[in-house]
Chain A
């Protein structure tokens, strides 16, 4: 069991790493993949934003998140946009949206419709409303969750002190 768990983590981490090598990529994932991202042991600070193409406040703040890597050039920071669009909207809704808006961050559409099984694992305080954001660095022990919408200034000021 333990061995299998490790193999799973490795398989999934490899998947995520290979994804991040490209400028922008999107794919459909299941929970274990998101879980291994949450459990990653790297010294990178992950800014994980939960959003959807139909969510107005999400769309408004998305460019601010997409600029973070550039704003903090030289820092180990990675933005992952976790889309809550429905799986059937991946090709027709999400992908065209990413192209049209020149999104550079990696996008993971999480295909886990039984939300109640995993919302608490992102953060116990999360009601399930989006937008929501998790800032995570397992090497420094940073784990902050925000169920709110950010302005450009707010997200920059929030991220800055959390970077090592």
Chain B
């Protein structure tokens, strides 16, 4: 009986695997892969505004909508820091943007952003999207939500939208590092194979 149960479980797992088919569905409004970005100018934690046109010697940017309060964002903090440390010198700095309404998520206020950036030694911009216009333009829906951009002259285009990797809770168990793979492909002059993924995250706390 035990063996039979085991076989059934093994069979079902295999079946589940077979039934798992990735599908590509751009959804919602905002930027899609291939779209050109309209530049933004948002206040950084040091009080100075940051915009894409202000970036120098880069090939693109890893724009990440994230925040302080969401456990899924917190789970990815160290990986966001690692992405910046690894890819800034290769021309892809991280630009983190906090779009949450501080009235709904008090931990995401501008002073709290400064506090968190200091605690975690963020070396990348952590921008306050006070009007939420940038999050809306991008079509950001959750935190964390990544938009990988490439640069041609002064034009930035979206080449990847989605998650950082495929395991939020256990980084070492992630089998797909979407952002890293996408950047490697871009640097190789290849199109990004997996250019859209979804992940569970916190809703962006929109103003009423």
Interface on A for B, CB 8 Å cutoff?
A: 1, 4-5, 7-8, 11-12, 30-32, 35, 52, 54-57, 84, 86-88, 113-120, 124-131, 147, 149
**Interface core residue of A54, A116, A120 (most chain B CB under 10 Å):** A116
Are B202 and A55 touching (Cβ within 8 A)? yes
* A11-B198 CB under 8 A given contacts A35-B19, A127-B28, A128-B141: no
CB distance from B181 to the nearest CB of A (A): 13
B200 within 8 A of partner (CB): yes
Interface contact A116-B197, CB-CB below 8 Å? yes
B27 to chain A, nearest CB (A): 5
Beta-carbon contact of B201 and A8 below 8 Å: no
In the bound complex, residues from chain A placing their C-beta under 8 Å from that of B176 are 114
Instruction: Chain A residues near B197: list those with CB within 8 A.
Output: 116
29 contacts across the A-B interface (CB closer than 8 A): A4-B15, A8-B8, A8-B12, A8-B15, A11-B12, A30-B13, A31-B20, A55-B202, A56-B105, A84-B200, A113-B169, A113-B170, A114-B166, A114-B176, A115-B166, A116-B197, A117-B22, A124-B25, A124-B27, A125-B28, A127-B201, A128-B141, A129-B200, A129-B202, A130-B200, A130-B203, A147-B141, A147-B203, A149-B203
Closest to A114 in B: B166
Q: Which residues of A contact B25 (CB under 8 A)?
A: 120, 124
Q: How far is the CB of A60 from chain B (nearest CB, A)?
A: 11
Which 7 pairs from chain A and chain B are nearest by CB? A127-B141, A129-B142, A129-B203, A8-B12, A119-B198, A86-B169, A116-B197
Q: Which of B16, B168, B204 contacts A129 (CB 8 A)?
A: B204
> Does B23 sit within 8 A of A, measured CB to CB?
yes
Contact of A115 with B200 in the complex, beta carbons under 8 Å:
yes
How far does the alpha carbon of A69 sit from the alpha carbon of B13 in the complex, in Å? 33
B34 close to A (CB within 8 Å): no
Q: B71 to A54, Cβ gap below 8 A?
A: yes
Partner of B20, one of A8, A118, A127: A118
- Complex alpha-carbon distance, A57 and B201, angstroms: 13
Distance (whole angstroms) from the CB of B107 to the closest CB of chain A: 10
Q: Is the pair A88, B169 in contact by a Cβ cutoff of 8 Å?
A: yes
Q: Mark B63-87, 1 if CB is under 8 A from A, else 0.
A: 0000000010000000000000000
Known: A8-B15, A11-B12. 13 other contacts (CB 8 A): A4-B15, A8-B8, A8-B12, A32-B16, A86-B168, A87-B169, A115-B166, A115-B198, A116-B162, A120-B198, A128-B198, A129-B142, A129-B202
